[in-house]
Amino acid sequence: MSAKQMHIDPFERNWIVFSVIMLVLFATAVAVAAFGMGIQVPSPETRVDPKTVASDPNSPWANPGVREVVAGKKYDVYILAKTWQYLPAEVKVPVGAKVTFYVTSMDVQHGFKLQDTNVNFQIVPGQVSKLTTTFTKPGSYNYICTEYCGAAHAAMYGVVIVEP
C-alpha cells in the first residue's frame, strides 16, 4: 500500500518557489543595507518636553552645541530646531571623529538632512532623533530642513564645518 502523495499543481509550486526566492532576496537586501552599507534606522532616543526643552537648565538643548567626549575622536552635538532655524547654525568638529547628533524641536515638525552623509531624519517635537556619522573629508556640510514647516522653511539650514 503506497502513501498518498499530496498533489501540488505545477503553477502553484512555481509560485511558491518564486515567493521563497523573493523573500531570500529581500532579507539579503536588508542585511546588506544594515551591515554592509551602515544604514541605520533612527529610533526614538528619548522624550523631552518641547515647552521646557530650551529653558530647563538640565536640558542639553538649553545650551545646544558640541560636546567633546574624547578629544579628536568622539563628539556629541545637540541641535535645537525651531521655526525657522537650527541652534546652533554652525558646528565645528575635527575630521575622522565619530559624531553623534541629538536633535529635537521646540515647536513644529522639522527635518534634518546632512549633506553627503546618510544622516537624514524627521524632528518631532517631544522626541529626540539621534544618528552617528564620521566625516572622512574636511569641508562644509550643510544640514537642511526637509519637512515643510512654514513660510521660511526653505531658508532653514545650518552647517557642520569639518576641520583638518
Kindly state the smallest distance separating residue 114's Cβ from ligand CUA, in Å: 14
Nearest to ligand CUA of 14, 142 (CB atom): 142
Q: Which of 61, 75, 78, 84 binds ligand CUA (CB under 6 A)?
A: 84
Residue 110 amino acid letter: H
Q: Which of 30, 148, 155, 163 binds ligand CUA (CB under 6 A)?
A: 148
Question: Residue 37's beta-bridge partner residues?
Answer: none
Q: Which of residues 108-127 bind ligand CUA (CB under 6 A)?
A: 110
Cβ neighbours around 81 below 10 Å, total: 30
Strand bridging mode 90-94 / 157-163: parallel
Four-CA torsion 19, 24, 29, 30, nearest 10 degrees: 100
Nearest to ligand CUA of 75, 105 (CB atom): 105
Residue 54 binding ligand CUA, by CB under 6 A: no
Contacts of 76 (CB under 8 A, 6+ apart): 66, 67, 69, 99, 100, 102
Kindly state the smallest distance separating residue 154's Cβ from ligand CUA, in Å: 8
Residue 80 binding ligand CUA, by CB under 6 A: no
Residue 147 binding ligand CUA, by CB under 6 A: yes
Q: Give me the sign of the Cα torsion angle 105, 110, 111, 115.
A: negative
Sites of contact with ligand CUA (CB under 6 A): 84, 110, 145, 147-149, 153, 156
